[in-house]
Amino acid sequence: MTIPLAFAHIGDLHITGAEAGNARDFASIIDQLNETDGLDFVFVPGDNADNGRPEQYALVKAGLDRLRLPVHVITGDHDMEGGSLDAFYAGLRPPRLPYAVDVRGVRCLFLDMCGPGSGGPDFRLGADQVAWLAAELERAGSRDCALFMHSYPADLKGDGEAARVADLVHRGPVRLVEMGHTHYNELANDGRTVYAATRSTGQIEEGPVGYAVAALDGGVVSWRFKDLARPWPFVLITAPADRRLAHDAGHIVGQHVTVRALVLGPAERVELRIDDGSWQPMARPDGARCHEAEVDWPDTARTIAVRATGAGGEDTDIVEPTSDANGLPTSRGIGSDADAIGAWERRGLLGTQLGPNRNGRQW
């Protein structure tokens, strides 16, 4: 039985005070995540306290303590505003970065891009952390890995770090890199690894507040943003891979396809269809995380849709599998947004890049 890794990603919090809108949104996101099962943990990608102050971390800690799920929280440049990460570690009491945990057979690696730098976006890992990452990836062998860091490897400022880390990721078993910093949703696929950045919770310049749900299912990466205001249920197809996120010959579909979908929140009915065909029921086997179905895949087929219906409404996710090896992506710039796939509104990607990395304000 395949049980994919699945987690929620709450974007950069930038907490200032309890009265601010992003503090209220943070509390609402926690309430909503506490309503559902089916996730392994929650990831918070840094820029937790907007000014790195103890009273701001106290608000962050109070929120995270209410979560029923395990939490992994890392550092961002705003966490260094006080000149060190002392307040971050004292206020949130996370494990000392870097560290690794195994979840659902995936090696999850959490990095500190900020502590070795001088503050601000002087992103560095330092020699010890680069060596640790190299050793972890070598030790993993062919096991799938997920890497959690504040921004793209290309943003690293240390001597040779950007190229070194990007090469380690690209040549190694890293299938997913999860990031914050951009303030906008973005997915990039370099033909080996998917890079995913989730919109911030504070300092939002595009789209509504919410959080991302990501999964790694036997090497297949899936990712979708959930608007906070959207009611349950929520659907994420975890297999097969969408053509935009496929990065391996094993992701090419044949005549028969296994469809798996993660459904969060109560659902009375889950079903799928190919293109505009009839809806077919899906079932969740005993002990499974996902609803599943085996379907025939005609040569002319293009899309698979999964729909979940509950008392609060319905939700549909759609993937476009690839049956052509020539359709797999190749890299235009290892470890950077040069491989960004652009707009994909159904998944929450607007493609406007309104944030400090590109076209938005320099917060």
pLDDT single digits (tens) 35-67: 999 999 999 999 999 999 999 999 999 999 999
Question: 3-class SS at 58?
Answer: helix
User: Given pLDDT bands bounded at 50, 70 and 90, which one contains residue 328?
Assistant: confident
Domain ends where: 202, 230, 258?
230
Mean pLDDT throughout 333-353?
93
DSSP characters over 171-187: HTTEEEEEE-SSSS-EE
DSSP annotation of 70 reads -
Q: Is pLDDT at 359 greater than 90 in this prediction?
A: no
Tell me the whole-structure pTM to 2 decimals.
0.96
* Residue 60 CB neighbours (<10 A): 20
Do residue 194 and residue 214 come from a single domain? yes
Kindly calculate the radius of gyration of the chain based on its CA atoms and give it in whole angstroms: 20
Question: Regarding predicted confidence, which is higher, 334 or 222?
Answer: 222
The structural domain count of the chain equals: 2
Instruction: Flag whether 294 is in a domain.
Output: yes
Instruction: Flag whether 342 is in a domain.
Output: no
- Alpha carbon of 123 to those of 52, 165, 319: distances in Å? 16, 12, 35
CB 202 within 8 A of CB 175: no
- Alpha carbon of 102 to those of 2, 49, 136, 155, 245: distances in Å? 16, 28, 12, 27, 23
Domain ends where: 230, 261, 292?
230
CB 38 within 8 A of CB 73: no
Do residue 140 and residue 50 come from a single domain? yes
Domain that holds residue 258: 239-326
Do residue 179 and residue 83 come from a single domain? yes
**pLDDT tens digits, residue range 249-295?**
889 999 999 999 999 999 999 999 999 999 999 999 999 999 999 99
**CATH code of the domain in which 79 resides:** 3.60.21.10
**pLDDT tens digits, residue range 100-153?**
999 999 999 999 999 999 999 999 999 999 999 999 999 999 999 999 999 999
pLDDT at 339: 95
Pairing of strands 186-189, 174-179: unpaired
**CATH code of the domain in which 263 resides:** 2.60.40
